[in-house]
Structures are given as C-alpha cells and as structure tokens.
C-alpha cells in the first residue's frame, strides 16, 4: 500500500485508498488499485495515462457518480460515500462543475438556457443575468438564443465552460475537454478554461491525453494499469 495521505486543512479533494473492481463472466477485473492523493484549494491537476488506464473511472468516483469497491473520497471535508445519493447530488450541485468531451448540452435549450439551468436548479436569484454575463465572458454574447445544433464544437464547449463556471464551483472536473475539437479551437478553449479557473479560484482536475495541456497544471497524476506511477 502507498503511504497514507495526510490532508491539510486546505485540502478540498482527498482521494483515500480507492480500489475499483468489476466482475463479469471472465472473472474479476481491477480497474483502480490504491489511488491515494489530496488536492489543495485552487490547485490544478492533470490525470494522465493511456486509454483504458482508469482515468475517467477515477474522475467519476471523485465526482461521486461511480462508487469505489473500497476507499473513499472527501470533498470539502465531506465523505461522499457516507452520504445518500440525494445528499451526494446536492453536494455536487454546490461544489462541483463538469466539462465533458462531448459537451453534454441540453439540445432543446438555448445557450442561455443551458447556462441558466444549474443556477435555477440551485434556486439562485438573477439566473438570467448571471448566465448572460458568463456567456459574454466566454465570447458568446451574440449566441444567447442559439441552440446547440447550430453552434460549432468550439462554441458548444464554451457554453459548457460557462455552464460549469457560472455556479462558481469549488472544484471543476474536466474529462478530455478538447478531445472533440481541432487543435486551434482546443487551444482557445483551454486558454479560456485556465483563465476562468484562475479568476474564480477553482480547483481544477483535468483528464487529458495531451501532455502539453498536462504540463500547464501544477500537478500531474499518472495512472498506469490502475495505479499511480511517477509522472
């Protein structure tokens, strides 16, 4: 076993001895083995590794969307897996933002409505004004009423960034956010992500295959065959 992590008072994410296994007709497959680290508030970390190494599974567990076989994750001091599903969902709504490779926008909602949605779900006032301001921040003031199907990939990802950051999350989880974009568009989106992250003081946890993006983060957590190895 790795040495236990001693979480500092400033730790916002504590991943404690996470194991994840699944079983099928061929037997038991261990996806993650004793993953153990903590992240401070405002820290940026890249999770890197080959396809199939367990990166996205780890991100889902950090979000409380998937459950580990053993171990736990503490978010802002709360043990995610000691909470009910409803309480985990409530904590996610308060503390987490998400950006996905395939954008995950609601196709029946406009750009503005997509960004307003998390604010409305959490009962925040002035959702329209806040969403309008954030879409302006990502350069989409002229696209407020546009639906995802008429937006380019880069525009859709900027809407996704606006939706993630508009709630001022303590932690932003991003899974291959440039994976569906061309190089130039991806560079623009990542520059915007790091700018917003710095402005809002968010802890960023980023899964990426792109080592140039990983190098921009303060920490690199390399997963190989389900284990953390020297980056």
Q: 41 burial class (0-12, 13-18, 19+ CB within 10 angstroms)?
A: middle
Residue 6 pLDDT grade (very low, low, confident, very high; cuts 50, 70, 90): very low
The residues, any chain, with a CB within 8 Å of residue 91's CB and separated by 6 or more, are: 64, 75, 76, 78, 80, 83
Residue 2 pLDDT grade (very low, low, confident, very high; cuts 50, 70, 90): very low
Residue 122 pLDDT grade (very low, low, confident, very high; cuts 50, 70, 90): confident
Q: Which strands, in side-by-side order, build the sheet including 171-175?
A: 96-100, 171-175, 203-207, 44-48, 219-224, 227-229
Q: Is the dihedral of CA 75, 213, 103, 200 positive or negative?
A: positive
**Residue 10 confidence (pLDDT):** 65
User: CA 55 to CA 33: how far, in whole Å?
Assistant: 12
Percent of the chain at pLDDT > 90 equals 65
Q: Residues 159-212: pLDDT tens digits?
A: 999 999 999 999 999 998 888 888 888 888 899 999 988 889 999 999 998 888
**Residue 101 confidence (pLDDT):** 82
Q: At the top level of CATH, which class does the domain 11-229 belong to? A: alpha beta
| CA–CA–CA angle 185, 195, 42 (5° rounding) | 130
Averaged over 209-228, what is the pLDDT? 92
Q: Where are the domains of the chain?
A: 11-229
**Residue 231 confidence (pLDDT):** 76
Q: Is the pLDDT of residue 5 over 60?
A: no
Q: Residues 29-39: pLDDT tens digits?
A: 899 999 999 99
Q: Residues 73-105: pLDDT tens digits?
A: 999 999 999 999 999 988 988 899 988 888 889
User: CA 164 to CA 3: how far, in whole Å?
Assistant: 34
Contact (CB, 8 A) for 171 and 42: no
């Amino acid at each position: 076993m790795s040495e236990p992590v001693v979480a500092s008072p400033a730790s916002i994410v504590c991943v404690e001895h996470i194991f994840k296994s699944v079983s099928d007709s061929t037997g038991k497959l261990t996806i993650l083995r004793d993953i153990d680290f903590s992240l401070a508030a405002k820290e940026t970390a890249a999770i890197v590794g080959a396809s199939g190494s367990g990166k996205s599974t780890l991100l889902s567990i950090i979000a409380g969307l998937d459950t580990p076989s053993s171990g736990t994750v503490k978010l802002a001091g709360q043990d995610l897996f000691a909470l009910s599903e409803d309480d985990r969902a409530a904590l996610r709504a308060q503390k987490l933002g998400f950006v996905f490779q395939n954008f995950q926008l609601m196709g029946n909602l406009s750009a503005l409505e997509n960004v307003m949605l998390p604010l409305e779900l959490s009962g925040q006032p002035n959702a329209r004004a806040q969403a309008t301001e954030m879409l302006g921040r990502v350069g989409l003031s002229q696209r407020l009423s546009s639906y995802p199907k008429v937006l380019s990939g880069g525009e859709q990802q900027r809407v996704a960034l606006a939706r993630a950051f508009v709630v001022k999350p303590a932690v932003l989880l991003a899974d291959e956010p440039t994976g569906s974009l061309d190089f130039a568009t991806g560079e623009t989106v990542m520059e915007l992500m790091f700018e917003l992250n710095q402005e809002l003081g968010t802890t960023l946890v980023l899964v990426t295959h792109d080592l140039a993006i990983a190098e921009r983060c303060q920490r690199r957590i390399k997963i190989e065959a389900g284990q953390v190895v020297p980056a």
